[in-house]
Structure 1
Amino acid sequence: MRQVTLAAVLTAMLASLPAGCASPQARGAASLPAAPVTRADMVARLLVAAEQAANAPDPQPGRLAEALAALDRLGARPAPGATDSLTDPLPGWRTSAPNAAVPTMRGRLLGPAYRRGHLEPGATTTLAQLFDGGRQARVAIAAAGGGPLGIAVLDGTGKPVCPVRQGTGSQCSWVPPFSGRHHIRLSNPGAMRVAYYLVIE
């Protein structure tokens, strides 16, 4: 029931985004099969919606508060190393949203970890991440502005786990057979700088 409620909140928020900001699925592209929405993908999209509400020309504190509350319910947390406003904008957003209290962490299961980043035109970056063997692994990315991104996941030997996918929002789910380091490769094929949210679960 909680997952259905969060999905409904996400759908409503995405429907109100400008067409250029929503993913192809959110714009209703009938030619693409809809991938199951994972918790990591929901967090990535909610982060973009929150950023757009926070940076809108007309203040939208109500929408921002809704997005922050949904992120809290999903257990979203900053990734290790995301310690400033460039990589973790949530603390700053909370100061401008009404009733957006900082959630208590005691007794709470940790959810997907997120970080914000930028990629210059034509740039590629690779991030190393450990995943547990035999457990579902999920990676999602959403562009906050500037255009589409490419994402690929490689195992420790360089074998593709998820081949390159491009778009304003992409996700990858798999079950590693063994615990080990994987490489998440992000690329910007466009001519504009792209801000993005990477979510790992």
Structure 2
Amino acid sequence: MNKLLAMALLGALTSSCTGSAGEPRSASLAGHLAARSDTDRTAAAVLYRAQSAYEDGDRAALSLALSRLDAVGLHPVGEEANDILARWRAAADQPAITRGRILGPGFMVGELAPKEERALEQTFLSGRGAAISLSALEGRPLEISVRDSSDQSLCRKVAERVTCRWVPLYTHRHTITLRNPNTKKTRYQLVID
């Protein structure tokens, strides 16, 4: 049943991203960007649901969330995310999925101590919509900022759940900085696409 649901979700995402031959290019592009926007929200929401199901010990919900993560092509970025995904799969009794080259959306998980700041670099492709979604698991706001290779600010927000979106003019590395402005440690999930 979970495989069928995952296949249906993947089919829906794929069909929503392709325009018909007679469709104007701008309409096809708008539809593609709307579908990508839905995928970004879905990936972040499903990642959050997977964490909640794991913490609640809800094996069925965790298995469903993992199938949906697989369907949208979300993969772990870094050892901590790899470890958590392996724990989730073990708890759901779901085998690990092996992939070739790392492509598509990814996620990171971690914890920030009070006033701690963490920076990472990611390369985004020219002309392709980029999105980063940050969720704080304890309900405390976190700060995220994105800067391009020229050190120009593309996004800076403080919230419990936040998404930054932009379209890079050329392919280059971006610096993503996370900061915990709180007086307590805060766990986070970051979806990068």
TM-score, normalising length: structure 1: 0.71
Per-residue deviation at 1:153?
A: 0.8
Selected match of 2:87 from 89, 92, 104: 92
> Over aligned residue pairs, what C-alpha RMSD do you find?
2.5
Which moved further from structure 2: 176-185 or 37-46?
A: 37-46
Superposition pairs for residues 1-150 of structure 1, below 5 Å?
A: 2=9, 37-56=37-56, 59-79=57-77, 82-83=78-79, 86-88=80-82, 89-98=84-93, 100-103=94-97, 105=99, 110-145=103-138, 147-150=140-143
The count of aligned residue pairs is 163
Letter in 1 for 2:169: P
Letter in 1 for 2:166: W
Q: Provide the rounded CA distance (Å) in 1 between the counterparts of 2:102 and 2:175.
A: 25
Q: Structure 2 stretches of 5 or more lacking a match? A: 1-7, 14-35
Residue 48 of structure 2 aligns to a residue whose secondary structure is helix
Letter in 2 for 1:117: G
The answer on whether the counterparts of 1:75 and 1:109 sit within 8 Å (CA) in structure 2 is no
Q: Provide the rounded CA distance (Å) in 1 between the counterparts of 2:55 and 2:174.
A: 34
Selected match of 2:174 from 182, 187, 194: 182
Per-residue deviation at 1:197?
A: 1.2
Per-residue deviation at 1:37?
A: 4.6
Q: Provide the rounded CA distance (Å) in 2 between the counterparts of 1:43 and 1:118.
A: 20
Matched residue, 1:18: none
Q: Provide the rounded CA distance (Å) in 1 between the counterparts of 2:48 and 2:154.
A: 26
Residue 145 of structure 1 aligns to a residue whose secondary structure is coil
TM-score, normalising length: structure 2: 0.74
The answer on whether the counterparts of 2:139 and 2:160 sit within 8 Å (CA) in structure 1 is no
Letter in 1 for 2:46: L
Q: Provide the rounded CA distance (Å) in 2 between the counterparts of 1:151 and 1:189.
A: 11
Letter in 2 for 1:103: I
Q: Structure 1 stretches of 5 or more lacking a match? A: 7-35
